[in-house]
């Protein structure tokens, strides 16, 4: 049977504030990138999908069954990496993974085999006997990724998994996710848009707890065509552009300042359209007070 994770009118209210509001989405096997600014409700949504947080309204259904009613059966097929997670500093990498494997209900023989396999995948085999207390941020993150994969999950939820990874580790991680995504539903959030650009089947854009767009990268970028401009400007024009438009990359060259501007209309006379990137999309949807940010930077 084809896997299906359906979120039906999910809302989560804390006191009088909505973290997620009336969000509905249907997910099938593949990688989904969850994109949104800080405070947009990504983590809350992921916690609801993991069933460690009850939605105020709505249901999450896995293959037609409410995940809360499924209980342990859902946890059997679930892998989760939280955004900020702690570790037992006195445990070695091997012992830590064995511990999580025990919590996931794996038998000792399977655990040993799987732990060895995952330590190899996340390149921590040589450090498997070292205490986690001496691990770097990137190594801890890799251990976090490994623990999420211990039970060979059908639903894999990763909250900012590439934080702390160096570029080489990020490429390895992306390839690994891409490889295993064929028969799994993988949802991951990140601020590093390039991670999503390469592997996501679809991008979910979330703002103020609401889903504002769900589409594949190609289509989303197609919608952006003609809205991204490149122009060579001087300091004075740049200041004006920053005030009135969303400005992406700024590169100072010998000829002047090359600015990337996101705007439905031509921002300056010499501006030419340029192929959009996911980074531009992020600015287009989420960057609102850019002039204030620039003002702060310039004041320094």
Partner 1 sequence: MDRYEKAFEIQSDMKDESVEDILNYLNQYTVEFPVEEEIDSTIDVLKQYMPNKNERMAKFCLLVRMAADEITFISKTYWIACTILFIIGYWTTMREIDNPYATIIVFAPLPFVLGILEIFKGRDNGMSEIELSCKISSSEIIISRIILIGIYSVLMNTALACLLYIFDNSIDFMRISVLWLSPFTFISGISLWVVMKIKGAYVVNVLISIWCILAYFAFTNDTVIKILLKLNNAVYLGIIFIGIILIAFQIKNSANRYNNIFERGNEIEAGT
- Of 286, 258, 288, 287, nearest to 270 by C-alpha is 258
What is the SS3 assignment for 211? strand
Among 9, 24, 26, 39, binds partner 1 (CB under 8 A): 39
**Between 52 and 251, CB nearer to partner 1:** 52
Nearer to partner 1, 144 or 267 (CB): 144
Indicate which single residue of 23, 30, 33, 42 sits in contact with partner 1 (rule: CB under 8 A).
42
- Binding flag, residue 3, partner 1 (CB under 8 A): no
208 binds partner 1 (CB under 8 A): yes
Q: How many residues does the chain have?
A: 300
Among 7, 10, 31, 78, binds partner 1 (CB under 8 A): 78
Among 161, 209, 267, 276, binds partner 1 (CB under 8 A): 209
Among 23, 34, 35, 50, binds partner 1 (CB under 8 A): 50
**Where are the alpha helices (H) located in the chain, listed in sequence order?**
42-50, 67-70, 72-76, 93-103, 108-121, 137-149, 167-180, 193-199, 217-224, 235-244, 278-286, 290-299
Nearest to 101 by CA among 87, 113, 85: 113
- CA atoms of 244 and 118, how far apart (whole Å): 50
Binding of partner 1 by 263 (CB under 8 A): no
Contacting residues for 219 by C-beta, under 8 A, at least 6 apart: none
Token digits of residue 198: 């390469």
Question: Which tokens in the block code for residue 168?
Answer: 């080489």
Which range, of 57-65, 116-124, 236-244, 290-298, touches partner 1 by CB under 8 A? 57-65
- Interface with partner 1, residue 63, by CB under 8 A: yes
User: Residue 286, interface with partner 1 (CB under 8 A)?
Assistant: no
The residue ranges that bind partner 1 (CB under 8 A) are: 1, 14-15, 17-21, 38-44, 47, 50-54, 63-66, 69-70, 72-73, 75-76, 78, 80-82, 84-91, 95, 99-100, 102-105, 144, 147, 208-210
């Amino acid at each position: 049977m084809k896997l299906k994770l359906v979120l039906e009118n999910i809302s989560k209210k804390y006191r009088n504030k909505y973290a997620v509001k009336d969000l509905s989405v249907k997910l099938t096997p593949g990688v989904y990138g969850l994109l949104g600014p800080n405070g947009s409700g990504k983590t809350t949504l992921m916690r609801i999908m993991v069933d460690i947080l009850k939605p105020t309204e709505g249901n999450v259904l896995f293959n037609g069954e409410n995940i809360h009613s499924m209980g342990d059966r859902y946890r059997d097929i679930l892998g989760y990496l939280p955004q900020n997670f702690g570790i037992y500093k006195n445990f070695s990498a091997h012992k830590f993974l064995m511990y999580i494997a025990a919590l996931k209900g794996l038998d000792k023989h399977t655990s040993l085999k799987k732990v060895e396999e995952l330590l190899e995948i996340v390149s921590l085999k040589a450090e498997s006997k070292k205490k986690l207390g001496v691990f770097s941020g990137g190594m801890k993150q890799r251990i976090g990724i490994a623990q999420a994969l211990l039970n060979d999950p059908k639903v894999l939820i990763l909250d900012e998994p590439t934080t702390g990874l160096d570029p080489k580790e990020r490429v390895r991680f992306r390839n690994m996710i891409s490889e295993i995504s064929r028969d799994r539903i993988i949802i991951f959030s990140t601020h590093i848009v390039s991670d999503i650009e390469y592997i996501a089947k679809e991008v979910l854009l979330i703002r103020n707890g609401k889903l504002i767009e769900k589409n594949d990268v190609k289509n989303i970028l197609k919608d952006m065509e003609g809205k991204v401009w490149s122009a060579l400007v001087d300091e004075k024009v740049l200041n004006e552009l920053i005030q009135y438009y969303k400005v992406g990359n700024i590169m100072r060259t010998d000829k002047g300042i090359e600015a990337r501007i996101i705007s439905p209309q031509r921002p300056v006379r010499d501006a030419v359209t340029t192929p959009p990137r996911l980074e531009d999309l992020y600015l287009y949807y989420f960057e609102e007070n850019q002039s204030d940010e620039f003002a702060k930077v310039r004041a320094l």
